[in-house]
Amino acid sequence: MREFFKSTRFKVILAFLAFLVGIMIYSVTKGGYSLSGASFINTITKPFRAVSNSISMKFEKNADRIANADSYYEENKLLKQQIGELNKKLAEYDDLKEEVEELRKLVVIKEEHPDNIFSQPADVLGYVANDPFKGFTIDRGYEDGIKPYCPVITPEGVVGITVEVSQYTSTVRTILSPDLSIAVICSSTGTDFGIVEGSVITAENGATKLTHLDKDHGIKAGDLMITSGTSGLFPKDYPIGTVTVTGIEANGLTAYAEIEPSADISRLSSVFVITDFDGKLEDTDETEDTP
């Protein structure tokens, strides 16, 4: 031990400690403070006390978690239950809000067509598999007064007609299908008549086709085609779609136009079914409308 105190290593350590003490004394006196024994000790031990306080606080937090684990678990469980109930009420509110909005739209349509009788809003259950013409099924049927060949609409316009009806569901054939023909008139000219019927080619682009159009027609792109209501399958004055392009048929005898439907057939969530209207053709088994 005596050899250690006499060694160079001890002298270096001692000099280093003296250097540190000198720096601390300088730092304290530089700030205008007098150096007492207590302040000197506080200065030296300050970093150690900070670390000690941090460790103590973490220990207290962990100890509190362990001691009150059951209480925290029950509280967390209660909060999750309350959040679940709030989310359920929010979902119910959203559903109610959507239903009110649909009924508001129905009121507007009824005001424009007072002779029409409508079903309650019908939800679209799903589209028919492998149908290029976007046929779909709704959650309304015989129980709701719906029969085959009832027009199906949205607030934007006609989307199709019911073809298969069960007690609680119905299948709808859309205006994209070549198996459905609707007599229409141009709302702009009031004189240009034609037949809207789909095709495989136009359906690929979500459009339908206006056929049997006179070559000397006055229809142009942007014109709205509406139902003429001449055959009893569809009431009059319902929008079908907007003209995008016109042309002459290959036979050179008649003209045609491509129609962009007013309603987005591929994104339907709910529709209305017209169960009765003035001039309706009763007990029909046809889906072809003629002007």
**pLDDT tens, residue order, the chain (291 aa):** 556 556 666 566 666 666 666 666 655 555 554 445 555 555 555 554 555 566 666 656 666 566 666 676 677 777 777 787 777 777 666 656 666 666 677 777 888 888 999 998 999 999 999 999 999 999 999 999 999 999 999 999 999 999 999 999 999 999 999 999 999 999 999 899 999 999 999 999 999 999 999 988 999 999 999 999 887 899 999 999 999 999 998 888 899 999 999 999 999 999 999 999 988 876 554 444 444
The tokens for 185 are 């008139």
Beta-bridge partners for 154: 157
Give me the sign of the Cα torsion angle 54, 59, 64, 69: positive
Tell me the longest C-alpha to C-alpha distance in the chain: 125
For the chain, strand residue ranges (E) read: 117-118, 122-127, 136-138, 151-154, 157-165, 170-174, 181-186, 193-197, 208-213, 224-227, 239-248, 255-261, 270-276
Output the pTM of the full model: 0.65
Going 176 to 182 to 183 to 186, the CA torsion angle's sign is negative
User: Is residue 192 classed exposed, middle or buried when 0-12, 13-18 and 19+ CB atoms within 10 A define those classes?
Assistant: buried
Q: Are 142 and 170 in contact (CB under 8 A)?
A: no
Q: What is each CA distance from 9 to 2, 18, 98, in whole angstroms?
A: 13, 14, 85
How many C-beta neighbours within 10 Å does residue 184 have?
Answer: 30
Q: Which residues, at least 6 apart from 282, have a Cβ–Cβ distance to it below 8 Å?
A: none
Q: Give the other-Cβ count within 10 Å of 274's Cβ.
A: 23
Identify the pLDDT of residue 80. Answer: 78
| Residue 170 contacts residue 221 (beta carbons within 8 Å) | no
Phi, psi of 142 (to 5 degrees): -55, -35
> Do residues 235 and 116 touch, judged by C-beta distance below 8 A?
yes
170: which residues sit within 8 A by CB, 6+ positions away?
Answer: 122, 137, 138, 140, 141, 146, 150, 162, 164, 273
Phi, psi at 198, each rounded to 5°: -75, 175
In a 13 Å sphere around the CA of 10, the CA atoms on its Cβ side amount to 7
Asked if residue 271 lies in contact with residue 105, where contact means CB atoms within 8 angstroms, the answer is no
Quick check: 246 and 255 in contact, CB under 8 A? yes
